[in-house]
Amino acid sequence: MRLRRIFLVIILATVGLLNAHSQSLDEARALFNEGRFAEALPILQVAYADDMSANVPLNQMLGVSLYESGRVLEAYPHLRFAAQNRTTDAHLYLGAIYAKLYRFADAEREFGLFDRANLRNNAAQERLAEKRAYTERLRRVVSRTEDIQIIDSLIVPRDRFLEAFNLSASSGRLMPMNEFFNTVDGGHNIVHINGLGDRVHFSNNGNLFSMERLIDSFGNERQLPEPVSSEGSQAFPFMMVDGLTLYFASTDHNSLGGYDLFVTRHHLASNNYLIPTALNPPFNSPFNDFMLVIDEEKGIGWFASDRFQAPDSVIVYTFIPNAQVRLIESDDMAYLGRRAMITSIEDTWRENVDYSALIHLARTRAIVEEAQQGDFEFIINDHTIYRTFSDFRNAHARSLFSQAMMLEGRLNTVNNQLAEMRPQFPTNSSLRDSILALERESRELFEEVERLKVEARNAEIR
């Protein structure tokens, strides 16, 4: 009798557990069918952990939900299991995963299996055409992978990723928006303060803004105009020392997916920005890539990405910037894919480079302080020389002189490039157009610097 009761309790408990599983899966399936993958995901994960790993529909829903939540590698085994058990829809997602891994032949094999199983399904064919078009776009992008030397990588918590960016004083400072503006919450927005400490760039509500230092605070807030401002979200700005070259991340401008990295330049003649240009792989990927910084004093750059990372982590790569874009010359798509994914840092290294010293330099935190004295010498008149920004009494004059100094930094960079390229011209005539363009830019910069200094001096005297 006692054994019968125990047996009955076990049966009732099992039935109750099965009912609970059934209700949970019904709820998850409803969320899944509505496209609410992030909400369905935790329910599906619990069901999978509760000894339902052999359930084919569960694996399919779990794999798709992980994929749509950006967790591509975690999605793979579940979709592979579903595909092996004749779930044809899984082949479409497997193809999409292979595409994001730059395994284009494998992607097309999975797309072909999905295609043959859905020849007369118009809706399925539309989904397939979309995935194939995106895959072809990725193939073209990967063919333009840049030959960049990656010297280091650090996986860091997402909310502390700025700790990996050890800028020199000349490149300025990066800080969370809530710290700069002393607010409760600034989201993941970042503020860049330039090396002179007189100009900041930041993101707010998906647009980029700049402000300049007045006397004791920042003001004159301005939204960066089109074509920088666009649909989607623009964030993570970094202005180079020249005060003209701006790197930022955007979910628009025809990005590959999530945030992509872009560069633009302020055009002096039109007083506007040029159309932003997307960076090549390995900087950009189908995942979120953001916060690119180039420290000219150190000769080192950083950028962050969540590619193949856990939801609460990002990876920060350190690299050696190229003076000019240098693409990898290869027709081997598998090799280009590995370089675009940065599967091996050492594959990017070259001979006669002390990488250990560069890694140490990249990880060394600079003491960044606003310069207080002896920053420059600016003659106001026969009796007065200014040496710090605090010497200016006129805010407009201070702003004009700040612009002049930023452009002077760019002028020095251009002149250094010319000094390197001119001796090479006799044996490399292909440099002619580049040299002419730099000479033209040098003249324009020099004239603009002198004009701004004259206006700043006149404004201060008045």
| pLDDT tens-place string over residues 35-48 | 999 999 999 999 88
What is the per-residue pLDDT for 140? 96
Distance of CA 439 to the CA centre of its chain: 32
162 plus 245 within the same structural domain: yes
Percentage, residues of the chain above pLDDT 70: 90
For residue range 443-458, what is the model confidence (pLDDT) as tens digits? 888 888 888 888 888 8
**Which has the higher per-residue pLDDT, 145 or 460?**
145
Q: Which of 133-142, 196-205, 394-403 has the lowest mean pLDDT?
A: 394-403
302 plus 404 within the same structural domain: no
What is the per-residue pLDDT for 371? 39
Instruction: For residues 83 and 62, give the distance between their C-alpha atoms in angstroms, rounded to a whole number.
Output: 13
Judge if pTM exceeds 0.85.
Answer: no
Residue 368 falls within a domain, yes or no?
Answer: no
pLDDT at 268 over 90: no
430 plus 301 within the same structural domain: no
For residue range 207-243, what is the model confidence (pLDDT) as tens digits? 999 998 877 778 888 999 888 888 889 999 999 998 8
Neighbours of 191 (CB within 10 A): 24
Residue 181 falls within a domain, yes or no?
Answer: yes
120 plus 73 within the same structural domain: yes
Q: What is the mean pLDDT of residues 286-304?
A: 95
Looking at 316, 332, 363, the residue that finishes a domain is 363
DSSP structural state of residue 287: S
Instruction: For residues 241 and 172, give the distance between their C-alpha atoms in angstroms, rounded to a whole number.
Output: 9
Split into its structural domains, the chain has a count of 3
Residue 421 falls within a domain, yes or no?
Answer: yes
258 plus 328 within the same structural domain: yes
359 plus 237 within the same structural domain: yes
What is the per-residue pLDDT for 135? 97
232 plus 338 within the same structural domain: yes
320 plus 443 within the same structural domain: no
For residue range 318-330, what is the model confidence (pLDDT) as tens digits? 999 998 999 999 9
Instruction: For residues 109 and 96, give the distance between their C-alpha atoms in angstroms, rounded to a whole number.
Output: 11
Query: Which range, 119-133, 217-231, 267-281, 364-378, is most confident?
Result: 119-133
pLDDT at 369 over 90: no
Contact call for residues 132 and 370 (beta carbons, < 8 A): no
What is the per-residue pLDDT for 21? 57
Residue 287 falls within a domain, yes or no?
Answer: yes
Structure tokens at 454: 């004259």
Instruction: For residues 85 and 94, give the distance between their C-alpha atoms in angstroms, rounded to a whole number.
Output: 14
153 plus 81 within the same structural domain: no
452 plus 334 within the same structural domain: no
154 plus 187 within the same structural domain: yes
**By residue range, what is the domain housing residue 95?**
2-142
**Which has the higher per-residue pLDDT, 97 or 198?**
97
Instruction: For residues 398 and 212, give the distance between their C-alpha atoms in angstroms, rounded to a whole number.
Output: 10
Q: Which of 119-133, 144-158, 263-277 has the lowest mean pLDDT?
A: 263-277
Q: What is the DSSP string of 353-415?
A: --HHHHHHHHHSPP------S-S--EEEETTEEE-SGGG---HHHHHHHHHHHHHHHHHHHHH
